[in-house]
Amino acid sequence: MMNSKIMEIESLGPVLFAYSPRAKRISISIKDTKEIRVAVPLNAPLKSALKFVKLKENWIKRHLLKLNSESKIYLSKELKNKEESSTFIKNRLYELSQKYGLHFKKVTIRNQKTRWGSCSQKNNINLNINLIQIPQNLMDYVIVHELVHTVVKNHSYKFWNLLDQYIPNSRHVDKELKKFVLPK
């Protein structure tokens, strides 16, 4: 069984097909770099994944056009005062946790390449040190987003409703956050 394969699709260009034990169904994602990635469950044939891509071709093209039209803000790779930045982010997490009564177990600040933050099943929160480079309202959004995951562990309707109680119009704020590109 192969792990991944890049195939040239005439109307789309190169497409990465990646077999994953975590994939429950075939899904497509498009990175800021305009890389098209297809996650394929281990038991799915490549032929099914190709058929799915052909079916979703217009959706893929629309998203590629959207990426071309959006202006992206690329964050710096070089962070000055990492210790000071980490302390600031941690302090903000503690403030917002107290303000909203959303409690977590422990916090880790890291230089992550793909995520702004995450919350584990045990309510441990990981935050990206690059949060220091984005506007305060977006940093607060990410922190509160992860704090809400201490109550609702998924991105269901219940999750977004609860998040909206703390961050009004949270889906719009989430779109604003997507303009910022993490350093690789």
pLDDT digits (tens, 9 = 90+) for 114-137: 999 999 999 999 999 999 999 999
Residues 6 or more apart whose Cβ sits within 8 Å of residue 93: 104, 107, 125, 127, 143, 147
- Model pLDDT, residue 2: 61
For the segment 90-95, the average pLDDT, to the nearest whole number, is 98
Q: What is the pTM of this model?
A: 0.68
> How far is the C-alpha of 157 from the C-alpha of 164, rounded, in Å?
11
**Cα-flanking dihedrals φ and ψ of residue 91, to 5°?**
-60, -40
For the segment 50-74, the average pLDDT, to the nearest whole number, is 86
Structural domain span for residue 15: 4-70
**Cα-flanking dihedrals φ and ψ of residue 18, to 5°?**
-120, 115
- Model pLDDT, residue 70: 67
pLDDT above 90 (res 42): yes
pLDDT above 60 (res 1): no
69 — pLDDT class (breaks 50, 70, 90): low
Residue 54: closest CA among 18, 10, 23: 10
Is 176 found in the same domain as 102?
yes
- Model pLDDT, residue 164: 97
Instruction: Specify if 40 maps to a domain.
Output: yes
Instruction: Specify if 131 maps to a domain.
Output: yes
Is 152 found in the same domain as 127?
yes
For the segment 84-88, the average pLDDT, to the nearest whole number, is 97
> How far is the C-alpha of 171 from the C-alpha of 23, rounded, in Å?
25
Instruction: Specify if 90 maps to a domain.
Output: yes
Average pLDDT in the chain: 93
Is 99 found in the same domain as 62?
no
Is 60 found in the same domain as 86?
no
Percent pLDDT > 70 in the chain is: 96
Q: Per the structure, how many domains does the chain have?
A: 2
Most confident among 9-23, 68-82, 107-121 (mean pLDDT):
107-121
Is 94 found in the same domain as 62?
no
Instruction: Specify if 76 maps to a domain.
Output: no
Is 142 found in the same domain as 56?
no
Picking from 43, 70, 97, the residue at the C-terminal end of a domain is 70
Residue 19: closest CA among 44, 54, 52: 44
Q: Which 8-state DSSP code applies to residue 25?
A: S
> How far is the C-alpha of 149 from the C-alpha of 3, rounded, in Å?
31
The CA-atom distances, in angstroms, between 125 and each of 117, 139, 143, 145, 146 are: 7, 14, 9, 11, 7
- Other CB atoms within a 10 A radius of the CB of residue 110 amount to 14
Is 45 found in the same domain as 104?
no
